[in-house]
Amino acid sequence: MRRLICVLLLAAPVPALAQAIEPGEWEFTSTTSSPMLPKPQTVAVKQCVKPEDARNPERWMGRQDGKSDCKFTHGKKGPDTVTWEMTCPKSNMRGSGSARIGRGTLESEMHMSGEMRGQRFEMRTQMSGRRLGPCKS
């Protein structure tokens, strides 16, 4: 379960970042809550977003170990917002999300549901990102 949560936390921003973000050092913090978890799980990562990667975020976000079967479908797209649907047939999960991108900020929320080991579950992940400045390396 913990490994699944980590994969979902890192994959969540992919569709949200389909719109351009500002290159530089970013900090992303994701919090996942579910009745199946004893308490909310929070993960924070810092990452350098290079100019070429800001134009094509799938190059650097949501990189997985090849074991995830999740597919994202883009939904509505506005000047600073985007929505998406997510399905993971092998993992028996589905979900939806939305994100808002501002100057140097990103906020997203994703709801997931499915079945794991014969037990139904619901999960909610909120993610925020902020640009810290130029990349350090």
pTM of structure: 0.73
Domain ranges of the chain: 2-61+71-133
Question: Top-level CATH class of 2-61+71-133?
Answer: mainly beta
Interval 89-118: pLDDT, tens: 887 889 999 988 888 998 999 999 998 778
17, HSE (Cβ side, Cα atoms, 13 Å): 27
Low-confidence ranges of the chain (pLDDT < 50): 1-18, 62-65
Q: What are the respective helix, strand and coil percentages of the chain, to the nearest 5?
A: 15, 50, 30
